[in-house]
Amino acid sequence: MVISQISTSVASCKNNLTKLPCKFPLDFNINKYQIYHGAPKRILHDGDCLDLGGRKLLVIHTPGHSPGHCCFYEIEKGYLYSGDLVYKGKLDIFYPTTNPQLFLQSIRRIQTYQINHIFPGHHQLYVATSLIDKIEIELSKLKAKGILQHGAGLFDFEEYQIHL
């Protein structure tokens, strides 16, 4: 798998972080914000299995929010660690590094797993597994209308928003 490098400026990140009101941690200082740059110790691939000492996580490549986005599925318990793919809040699919069509494909892909609980990367910890189907339905409707693309706007649903 080849992942293209698309850089995002610190100014762009700061702008996006402060665009809407948000409850940042008390010690957060936007003026000291930096984009993390680190060297990977290991490259994960779709289908890899991580053994965490008796707990096994399956790596599921789920591009859309970013080219290299992955979810992690704990097979034995049916837990999905969804990162930026599924959560209550605003699903941002408008950045240059996002791809709305791949986001929908990734949602459809995780629908094939028996998911008993979702652990999202943002906002509320409790997310009903039915949210996956709800997101898929609305993304599919946007696709059918020909507007599942950057710049289409902000779509507000009961538990989440889609920002294209």
Q: Given this model, what pLDDT does residue 59 score?
A: 98
Q: Given this model, what pLDDT does residue 7 score?
A: 52
Q: What is the pLDDT of residues 25-39, one digit of tens each?
A: 888 888 888 877 888
Q: Given this model, what pLDDT does residue 5 score?
A: 44
Check: CB of residue 163 under 8 Å from CB of residue 154.
Answer: yes
Tokens matching residue 93 = 């699919």
Q: Given this model, what pLDDT does residue 77 score?
A: 97
DSSP 8-state symbol, 31: G
Q: Which residues of 79-97 are buried (b: 16+ CB within 10 A; e: fewer)?
A: bbbbbbbbbbebbbbbbee
> Residues of the chain whose pLDDT is less than 70?
1-8
Q: Given this model, what pLDDT does residue 136 score?
A: 97
Instruction: Give the whole-angstrom CA distance, residue 105 versus residue 42.
Output: 26
Q: Given this model, what pLDDT does residue 1 score?
A: 38
Say yes or no: domain 43-163 is CATH 3.40.50.720. Answer: no
Instruction: Give the whole-angstrom CA distance, residue 106 versus residue 119.
Output: 16
Q: Given this model, what pLDDT does residue 83 score?
A: 94
